[in-house]
Amino acid sequence: MKDIIRSVASLPRRQKQLVLVLMDLCVLPLMMWLAYAIRLARPNVEVMAGLDAWYLYVSIFGVLIFALLGIYSAIVRSFNEDYLLRISIGTFVQIVALYVIKKLDLAFIPMSIPLMYGFMLFSYMWWSRAVIRYATIKTFAKKQTLKRVAIYGAGLAGQQIAAALNRSDDYLPVCFIDDKKSLQGQSLSGLKIYSPKRAATKFGKCAIEEILLAMPSVGRARKKEIIESFDSADVKIMELPGVTQLVDGQVQISDIHEVDIIDLLGRDPVPPKPELLEKNIKDKVVMVTGAGGSIGSELCRQIVKHQPKMLVLFEMSEFALYSIDRELQTSGIRVIPVLGSVTNQTKLERIITQYKVQTVYHAAAYKHVPLVEANPFEGIYNTSIGTARSVEAAVNQGVETFVLISTDKAVRPTNVMGASKRMAELYCQGLASTNPKTQISIVRFGNVLGSSGSVVPLFKKQIAQGGPVTVTHPEVTRYFMTIPEAAQLVIQAGAMGTGGDVFLLDMGEPVKIVDLAKQMIRLSGFKTMDDKGNGDIEIQFTGLRPGEKLYEELLIDQENVEKTGHERILKSFEKYYEYPEIYKVFNSLGESVDHSNFNQLTDILKKYVDGYRAC
């Protein structure tokens, strides 16, 4: 039997349609005879007396109506509500046609026959297609068992994805989960709706492998609560895209994806203030240094949305510059790619003058703690001295606004990377104290998710390889923010500056890296291996790397902080050195780099960077 089904299913599309047409041509007259036989309770009956060759009219007219309604052009395996509606319309048309024939006295048709025929016709069309679909799916079903899925959310998105899963070859929806008490205990699309607590007891019994979050409009804080409520469940958690992606069409299987790790932060973004985003960008010439980096490239993406007159990309890496330049070419904004180092002040001034730059976002820096620790002179030269030359170039050429993108690692650093950033901050603060025409601001924040060197892509790769997942220390804690949110807040903070300001971005609650690793393992459908070796993925502690801290801070002085007009941006008033002194310090810093004098370099950092301890 399977061979017959396979041979028919492998026919060209037109031939399969012809098979269905021939089948209906034979069965439709049989349905009409059956209606008369049932009504008269005997098989030997005269059908549609007075109309010769009635069986040709019934079969040809019926097939023609169904063909016009697209019954034969539809794919039987996509059997759905729309298909049933077309069958219903076709059946109704034929019932009406029979009453018209009776009214015109073209044939003998008792009053009950059209309805009986319509009922049997609809039943035949429905069941024949359902059987074909079932037989085809069973014949071509993959050998592995279907993934059994619980759908969290019995709303429109949940119903749509349940219908899509039912038509798939890979998933089997088992039940709905919903918070609404009015829905709990009810059935929807043949699936029982459970409360979250009740559903948790069913996971093992029903062999549920995945929970699918079908709540596209729910906020991150609520989503985090839902995810954490299934901490003890041995299931993988997936989700549908945001509500804006569902507006234009039906939910599809391809819309299902893994839960975004940023949802584990439980942090809903704050809508940006348009006037702050546009203040230093709209109709102005903007330059981004380090334009190909994680933050620099996202700054460029945000900037082109707010209609600058021109965007100058200043980047040292050829490939990074090529990538962001290619990406922005379709933005409609004039983009100028410039290959160069921020340590070349002469070139910076020439570019600023040539393109009449009005706003500079300085994102160029080395940021990987272990690499800078192993190459301290390069770190100081690129980050500290590079920043000094960049801000000097901006002031000398009358740039309106200069914004330094800094890091929480600049606060009481135990590594050269953090110290190099704090020295860069001190130079900007010192130069700002001379009241130049250029408004100089500093924006300090923590880690961004998804940047190069971030733990998230590293953990994903390690989990995909079966582990182990490596964490430096069980107590290491970090602040996290998404790259787009960080870039938007940097732009808004820079617009609030008055000169020499140090702005701090509200990073939310700190996250333990080991907890992040455990959550990512669980969301991937695995168990963290315990001390006895039970579980799937092991977490290995490798020890703190050179210069790495257990905790990061955003403030040097906890007292001198005030709120701003933006709820996610704070302003800090911190110790700084007057420009003549910091200028001399940087001359000494340059000498230590030129002569590779590590002791001189360390002495300078210990004296001028609060809390710095060489590791």
Q: Under a CB-based contact definition with an 8 Å cutoff, are residues 403 and 361 in contact?
A: yes
**What are the distances in angstroms from CA 327 to CA 293, 320, 333, 339?**
13, 11, 12, 16
Beta bridge partners of 194: 177
Is 305 designated active site?
A: no
Nearest 5°: phi and psi at 236? -90, 140
DSSP 44: -
**What are the distances in angstroms from CA 44 to CA 39, 54, 59, 111, 121?**
12, 16, 20, 20, 21
**What are the distances in angstroms from CA 600 to CA 586, 591, 603, 604, 606?**
12, 9, 5, 6, 10
CA distance 448 to 29: 70
Do β-strands 335-339 and 359-362 pair in parallel, antiparallel, or remain unpaired?
unpaired
List CB contacts of 451: < 8 A, sequence separation 6 or more: 294, 295, 483
How far is CA 375 from its chain centroid? 36
For residue 409, the tally of other CB atoms under 10 A from its CB is: 26
Alpha helices in 69-210 (DSSP H): 81-103, 113-140, 156-166, 196-200
First to last CA, the chain: 75
CA distance 166 to 191: 11
DSSP secondary structure string, 130-149?
A: HHHHHHHHHHH--SSPPEEE
How many Cα atoms are found within 13 Å in the side-chain-facing hemisphere of 575? 12
Angle in degrees, CA 188, 191, 197, rounded to 5:
100
Give the active site residue among 409, 421, 518, 549.
409
Do β-strands 480-482 and 359-362 pair in parallel, antiparallel, or remain unpaired?
unpaired
Q: % helix / strand / coil in the chain, to the nearest 5?
A: 50, 15, 35
For the chain, what is the largest distance between any 2 Cα atoms, rounded to a whole number of angstroms?
A: 116
**What are the distances in angstroms from CA 492 to CA 273, 280, 503, 567, 572?**
7, 9, 10, 11, 16
Q: Under a CB-based contact definition with an 8 Å cutoff, are residues 314 and 292 in contact?
A: no
Query: Quick one: tokens of 3?
Result: 């061979």
CA distance 546 to 416: 10
Give me the active site residues, please. Answer: 409
